[in-house]
A and B are shown apart, each in its own frame.
Chain A
Amino acid sequence: MALIAFGLIAAIVILSAVFVIAARNPVHSVLWLILTFCSAAGLFVLIGAEFLAMLLIVVYVGAVAVLFLFVVMMLDVDFVELKEGTLRYWPFALLVGLIFFGELALVWATSGQISAASFDPSPGGETNAEAIGAVMYTDYLLLFQMAGVILLVAMIGAIVLTLRHRPNVKRQNVGEQTGRRRADAFEMKDPAPGEGI
């Protein structure tokens, strides 16, 4: 049963990954990418790592892919035209592909030497959220914090790059607006009839 499910989900992952590249419409590419992410989350569930599966969906599908889709829909780029010259780069593509498959083969060849216990999603019977937290905040604390700092730097960098102060832009000061009282805005006059103010 688990084997059938694995075969099915793995096939969907590979097929949708192929469609990400093959689709002519970039929005379709992103939609296929989302299917790839969701199916990969399914693979995580199959090996019992449900915490990772949910994080994959929340972070990648729920946030990252939304931004992809956002950008791709807003951009007015003719992707078919952009893709026309891509065949020229096939030696690079081949090289990258070969390196990737070489690495996969290495992992496969050495997989017998790594004990099965190190792949246990819930060692010691605790849930895998607890298992991840137990090592992430102790053994790998420094690496974890560094990853956080790198993300913070990237975020601040993005803000600094895009923030610009233009003159003559009307802005709202909410505190000023809500702090306005009737006395600041109104002036009561009592004009005499027929004379005006």
Chain B
Amino acid sequence: MSNAIDALGSLWGPLLVLGQIGLFTLVLLISIAFLLLLDRKIWAGVMMRKGPNVVGPFGLLQSFADFGKFLLKEIVIPAGANKFVFIFAPIFTCTLAFAAWAAIPVAPGLEGGTSWVISDLNVGILYLFAISSLGVYGIIMGGWASNSKYPFLGALRSAAQMVSYEVSIGFVIITVILMVGSMNLSDIVNNQAGGLQNWHAFSFQNFPLVIVMFPMFVIFFISALAETNRPPFDLPEAESELVAGYQVEYGSTPYLLFMLGEYLNIVLMCAMMTILFLGGWHGPIALGPDIANALPPLLVSLSGLFWFMLKILFLFFLFAMVKAIVPRYRYDQLMRLGWKIFLPTSLAAVLVVAGYVTYFGVQA
């Protein structure tokens, strides 16, 4: 192995990164296929239906069948559409959704202090925030380029909606940054080591803060629903009024890319919540340094990966349940919730956390 590394010389670094990117993409694509099925199964279960159950055992291969069908259909571009922007919008959405995963640390590294991540950015959380704020362009471009009424209305709605909820997401992120004192995602995760009581959502170590941090977790969750255009905030694509919003004119592969981007963003939001509030790769019960050091490092890493994925799966389950249970908000209710309730609450929380950190300090 080391000989091979020497032979490759300076090419080794870029090749390693390329390999990591390929692995991430592959794992994400396959997980999205099954998460999509899980989403539909949960939705069906709440409605006492069976859900997809024909393709493969228990309908397990349904997503792959859909995938093949999307690819084989003809791409129809409306006559009045702006061709380049029309095609570019779904590609942009999907690319951004993948790009955000470059900064997500999924498991502790084999050596102490490192983590399994493509790029361990100093400003990782800002990078994620920046990428998710770019996501709105895919929708606006798609809606505008279609040159049709419903998509345009859907695009305008979603632009206002996503910009509004980004504000409260930003403030919630600031509370976590204040507690950690770093914008590096690995630092944020490591700050929550030592079991359930240290996770930012609970933070019993800094006792009075739990009154602030748990509501912040809830606000982040609801804002994430709005940011990813999920029910009950799926007004951009409200099928009963706008048919399907910005994606009315899309079919075939471009539609597939939109949907892929949407689900990748949902899983990304779940990963962000896991990292910011639920301790990332740390399990709910701390093993203690003696046991952790005795275990082989690979086992520690893999168990970290297991916890990380389990937490994402739990949050995704919540996303799916919300979709099945909660009726859709009206547009003015959505704006009221974002600007009149979440914004003041999260702003007050930033003040409280900043004051606490300044005068009492944070016990990690």
**Contact partner, A62, options B85, B130, B140, B141, Cβ 8 Å:** B130
- Chain B nearest CB from A179 CB (Å) reads 16
Q: Are A73 and B144 in contact (CB under 8 A)?
A: yes
Interface size of A as a range: 20 to 34
- Chain A nearest CB from B59 CB (Å) reads 39
Q: Are B163 and A57 in contact (CB under 8 A)?
A: no
Q: Are A66 and B140 in contact (CB under 8 A)?
A: yes
Q: Are B122 and A50 in contact (CB under 8 A)?
A: yes
The residues of A that contact B133 with a CB separation of less than 8 Å are 57-58, 61-63
Q: Are B183 and A66 in contact (CB under 8 A)?
A: no
Q: Are B123 and A61 in contact (CB under 8 A)?
A: no
- Chain B nearest CB from A133 CB (Å) reads 11
Inter-chain CA distance A28–B126, complex, in Å, is: 27
Q: Are B144 and A57 in contact (CB under 8 A)?
A: no
Q: Are B129 and A58 in contact (CB under 8 A)?
A: yes
Q: Are B123 and A51 in contact (CB under 8 A)?
A: yes
**Is A15 located at the chain interface by the 8 A CB criterion?**
no
Using a CB-CB cutoff of 8 Å, which residues 93-133 of chain A contact chain B? 127, 129
- Chain B nearest CB from A112 CB (Å) reads 31
The residues of A that contact B152 with a CB separation of less than 8 Å are 73
The residues of A that contact B85 with a CB separation of less than 8 Å are 27-28, 31
Mark interface residues in B157-171 (1 if CB within 8 Å of A CB, else 0): 001100100100010
Q: Are B123 and A50 in contact (CB under 8 A)?
A: yes
Inter-chain CA distance A69–B144, complex, in Å, is: 10
Mark interface residues in B322-349 (1 if CB within 8 Å of A CB, else 0): 0000000000100010000000000000
- Chain A nearest CB from B197 CB (Å) reads 29
**Is B97 located at the chain interface by the 8 A CB criterion?**
no
Q: A55-B126, A57-B133 are in contact. Are A66 and B144 (CB under 8 A)?
A: no
B145 closest partner in A (C-beta) = A27
**Is A70 located at the chain interface by the 8 A CB criterion?**
yes
Mark interface residues in B81-99 (1 if CB within 8 Å of A CB, else 0): 0100100000000000000
**Is B75 located at the chain interface by the 8 A CB criterion?**
no
**Is B204 located at the chain interface by the 8 A CB criterion?**
no
**Is A54 located at the chain interface by the 8 A CB criterion?**
yes
- Chain A nearest CB from B241 CB (Å) reads 19
Q: Are B129 and A63 in contact (CB under 8 A)?
A: no
**Is B102 located at the chain interface by the 8 A CB criterion?**
no
**Is A174 located at the chain interface by the 8 A CB criterion?**
yes
A127 closest partner in B (C-beta) = B122
Using a CB-CB cutoff of 8 Å, which residues 132-189 of chain B contact chain A? 133-134, 136-137, 140-141, 144, 152, 156, 159-160, 163, 166, 170, 183
**Is A162 located at the chain interface by the 8 A CB criterion?**
no
- Chain A nearest CB from B206 CB (Å) reads 22
A residues touching B (Cβ–Cβ < 8 Å)? 25, 27-28, 31, 34, 50-51, 54-55, 57-58, 61-63, 66-67, 69-70, 73-74, 127, 129, 172, 174
4 further interface pairs, Cβ-Cβ under 8 Å (given A54-B130, A127-B123):
A58-B130, A61-B130, A62-B130, A69-B137
Q: Which 7 A-B pairs have the closest CB atoms?
A: A62-B133, A54-B126, A57-B130, A58-B130, A127-B122, A54-B130, A50-B123
